[in-house]
């Protein structure tokens, strides 16, 4: 017994009940409940999950109860090219003891017709374990491309929530019934209007549809009120003629399109978000500019918009031709532009159109411009912007935030725009400049040069006149 300077005794011969036990006395990881371990497993490649069986007796059977089974053909075959992917999948499925499997994915596996019986058996396993998230991201056989025809029994999985299929084909021999399906992604498939209509009919709660490189669909007609997002990627061989989706909220179009890809946006009146990051192979420039102009007429009500490099270049041509710009309700605008002055007219076109703009984000990329278009852009950037400033109503009333991401060379090229925005935007609150600097091995000298340039450019920018007394300029840099 010991006493303090006061009269209250303090017991010293009993351990403190609040002190944690020494780490060496307890295996904290093995003590975790299976639900937590399965959650950890969901972030690991399957081969790493299997390796946990050597940790201890406690871990030996744990992996067999995993509820996320993701088989990556590329990773499995990497250590030894003679490994049989099918054998590995079969071995894991045989040892699986979990009554339900939430996620079952097969990715990066080159499919041919000889694999059909195996795939049918694997999907029977998925059916028996009521898989909610099914992914078949297959690769076409390079010598003889074949498509896996989805089996009939798959069309009536009432518990399916997410489905992703690559190099797979649908058939109408059976009615589709996926009452719980919310996310559907189809890549490199021969679809038709009838199949797409059947999918919408059989998926009453479908929220997101993604089509990658699909062909033979002519009309995307979405009457469903539940479908809120449509993603179109890589329409190089597309036959799409129109999109009719009056309840759609988000439309994202990206990838490389074929030279004759032209389709109408018939009714997309509910859209609040649009992303135009596609590029079209060279053909009829006038036709494509006309198509783009019609798109903007249909996107007047959109409040969040993203414009890619190709589209911005075509808008630059429209600006140089002084084509009237539609009045958009865009409040948040993201532009992907070249590290040149050639995209300034396209940026001016969007500023002229977006009279309610509050946030402007610009990502500068190192991409080129065709020689024919270069002849149209012989001008002084600062003079060009000043000559059009009275058309930029958003600068006076609404624009509050500007973010620019580029490297030091792009930042130097963009100084006329930065100077213009600071000097003319009355409501500006914050301009954030993010400069990416190279960090390759042996490039320390170049890093020092870039940092020196960045310091000079930043000092130059801080001297620019600011129309808004509340405007704050923030610089940051990172190493690639």
CATH number, domain of 452, equals 3.80.10
In the predicted structure, residue 314 carries a pLDDT above the cut 60: yes
| Pair 152, 177: CB distance under 8 Å | no
- Cα–Cα distances (Å) from 98 to 46, 65, 89, 94, 120, in that order, read 15, 4, 16, 11, 20
In a domain, 368, yes or no: yes
> Is residue 230 within a helix (H) or strand (E), and if so which, with residue range?
strand 229-233
Instruction: Tell me the average pLDDT of the chain.
Output: 82
In the predicted structure, residue 87 carries a pLDDT above the cut 90: no
In the predicted structure, residue 280 carries a pLDDT above the cut 80: yes
Looking at the DSSP bridge assignments, the partners of residue 211 are: 186, 232
Residue 28 has a pLDDT of 59
- Cα–Cα distances (Å) from 271 to 28, 192, 249, 274, 362, in that order, read 50, 25, 4, 7, 22
- Among the ranges given (192-206, 250-264, 287-301, 378-392), the one the predictor scored with the smallest mean pLDDT: 378-392
**Residue 476 domain boundaries:** 302-438+447-480
Task: Specify the 3-state DSSP secondary structure of 260.
Answer: coil
| Pair 75, 110: CB distance under 8 Å | no
Looking at the DSSP bridge assignments, the partners of residue 222 are: none
Number of folded domains in the chain?
1
| Pair 474, 433: CB distance under 8 Å | yes
Contacts of 405 (CB under 8 A, 6+ apart): 361, 362, 363, 364, 434, 436
* Residue 7's pLDDT band (cuts 50, 70, 90): very low
Write the pLDDT tens digit of every residue in 34-60: 666 666 665 666 656 655 554 555 555
In a domain, 9, yes or no: no
Contacts of 410 (CB under 8 A, 6+ apart): 339, 364, 366
Count Cβ atoms below 10 Å from residue 5 Cβ, excluding itself. Answer: 5
Contacts of 190 (CB under 8 A, 6+ apart): 147, 169, 214, 215, 216
Helices (H), 247-387: 285-298, 309-320, 344-353, 371-374, 381-386
Dihedral sign for Cα atoms in the order 5, 6, 7, 12: negative
Mean pLDDT of 97-118: 90
In a domain, 155, yes or no: no
In a domain, 421, yes or no: yes
Residue from 270, 264, 262 nearest 245 by CA: 270
Residue 81 has a pLDDT of 45
In a domain, 402, yes or no: yes
In a domain, 146, yes or no: no
Q: Residue 234 — left, alpha, or beta (φ > 0 → left; ψ -120 to 50 → alpha)?
A: left
Residue 104 has a pLDDT of 95
In a domain, 53, yes or no: no
In the predicted structure, residue 332 carries a pLDDT above the cut 90: yes
Write the pLDDT tens digit of every residue in 339-383: 666 788 899 999 999 999 999 999 987 654 445 445 555 556 777
Residue 49 has a pLDDT of 60
Q: What is the pTM of this model?
A: 0.82
Please state, in angstroms and rounded to a whole number, the distance separating the CA atoms of residues 120 and 337: 47
Q: What percent of the chain is predicted at pLDDT more than 90? A: 42
In a domain, 168, yes or no: no
Please state, in angstroms and rounded to a whole number, the distance separating the CA atoms of residues 330 and 242: 23
Q: Strand 9-10 relative to strand 2-3: parallel, antiparallel, unpaired? A: antiparallel
Task: Specify the 3-state DSSP secondary structure of 170.
Answer: coil
């Amino acid at each position: 017994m010991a006493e303090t300077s006061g009269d209250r005794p303090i017991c010293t011969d009993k351990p403190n009940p609040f002190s944690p036990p020494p780490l060496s006395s307890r295996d904290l990881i093995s003590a975790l409940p299976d639900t937590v371990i399965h959650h950890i497993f969901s972030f690991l490649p399957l081969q790493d999950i299997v390796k946990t069986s050597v940790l201890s007796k406690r871990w030996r059977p744990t992996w067999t109860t995993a509820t996320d089974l993701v088989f990556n053909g590329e990773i499995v075959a990497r250590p030894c090219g003679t490994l049989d992917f099918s054998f590995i999948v079969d071995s894991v499925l045989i040892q699986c003891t979990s009554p339900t499997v939430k996620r079952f994915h097969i990715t990066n596996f080159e499919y041919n017709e000889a694999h059909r019986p195996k795939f049918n058996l694997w999907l029977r396993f998925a059916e028996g374990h009521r898989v909610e998230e099914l992914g078949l991201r297959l690769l076409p056989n390079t010598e003889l491309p074949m498509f896996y025809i989805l089996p009939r029994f798959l069309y009536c999985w009432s518990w399916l929530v997410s489905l992703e299929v690559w190099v797979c084909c649908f058939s109408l021999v059976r009615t589709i019934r996926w009452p719980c399906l919310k996310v559907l992604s189809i890549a490199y498939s021969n679809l038709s209007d009838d199949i797409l209509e059947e999918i919408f009919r059989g998926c009453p709660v479908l929220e997101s549809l993604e089509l990658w490189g699909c062909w033979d669909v002519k009309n995307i007609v979405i009457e469903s009120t539940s479908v809120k997002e449509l993603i179109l990627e890589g329409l190089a061989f597309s036959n799409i003629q129109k999109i009719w989706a009056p309840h759609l909220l988000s439309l994202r179009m990206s990838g490389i399109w074929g030279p004759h890809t032209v389709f109408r946006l018939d009714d997309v009146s509910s859209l609040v978000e649009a992303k135009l990051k596609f590029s079209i192979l060279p053909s009829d420039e006038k036709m494509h500019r006309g198509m783009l102009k019609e798109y903007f007429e249909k996107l007047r009500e959109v409040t969040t918009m993203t414009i890619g490099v190709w589209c911005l270049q075509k808008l630059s041509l429209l600006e140089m031709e002084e084509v009237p710009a539609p009045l958009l309700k865009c409040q948040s605008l993201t532009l992907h532009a070249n590290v040149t002055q050639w995209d300034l007219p396209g940026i001016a076109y969007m500023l002229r159109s977006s009279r309610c703009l509050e946030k402007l984000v610009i990502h500068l990329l190192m991409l080129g411009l065709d020689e024919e278009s270069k002849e149209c852009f012989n001008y002084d950037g600062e003079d060009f912007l000043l000559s059009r400033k009275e058309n930029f109503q958003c600068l006076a009333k609404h624009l509050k935030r500007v973010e620019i991401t580029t490297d030091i060379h792009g930042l130097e090229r963009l100084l006329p725009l930065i100077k213009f925005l600071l000097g003319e935007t009355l409501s500006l609150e914050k301009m954030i400049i993010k400069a990416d600097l190279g960090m390759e091995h042996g490039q320390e000298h170049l890093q020092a040069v870039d940092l020196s340039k960045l310091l000079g450019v930043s000092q130059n920018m801080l001297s620019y006149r600011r129309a808004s007394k509340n405007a704050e300029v923030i610089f940051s840099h990172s190493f690639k």
